Amino acid sequence: MPYLQAFVKELLQKHPLTYFSLTHASVEAMKLDVPPDANLELFLPTIAEDERLWLKSLEFNPERFISSGEMTDITGLAGIRMILFGAGRRICPSLAMGTTHISLMVAWMVQAFEWRLHPAEPKLDFQDTVEWTVVMKRYSREG
């Protein structure tokens, strides 16, 4: 079960549900010159790809979330390294339910299906593109 949970965290870090965090009001000046009433939008992939926060950030590595690896907190209480469901007081109340449902869906799919690439298909491209939400740039079977 710990590896499945680590896999889901890594999956959500590499492919967040949205590119931007919700708008937040700036309440105090940080190290940036931000007007007091400005709204801030955070581009989430820049956090996930930051080499100062994650070792080998572009590599898919669920082991980084196992307790002996990198910090596993996704709530933002121990420092903001992932903002999957918001952070702090405004964190989504469905964080536990959402990650549990994703874990169950992944576990059921792994149990129910035999996974392999179709021999005629090119290697899967996991790049995404911005539309209303985040979607794959190219689906494996178009049509």
Residue 92, annotated as binding a ligand: yes
How far apart, in whole angstroms, are the C-alpha atoms of residue 115 and residue 40? Answer: 41
Structural contact between residues 9 and 82, judged by C-beta atoms closer than 8 angstroms = yes
Calpha distance 14→19 (Å, rounded): 11
Are 3 and 67 in contact, with CB atoms under 8 Å apart?
A: no
Alpha-carbon gap, residue 122 to 125, rounded angstroms: 9
* Those residues with Cβ within 8 angstroms of residue 135's Cβ, 6 or more apart along the chain or in another chain: 128, 129
Contact indicator for 20, 44 with CB cutoff of 8 Å: yes
User: Annotated binding residues for heme, as ranges?
Assistant: 92
> Residues annotated as binding site?
92
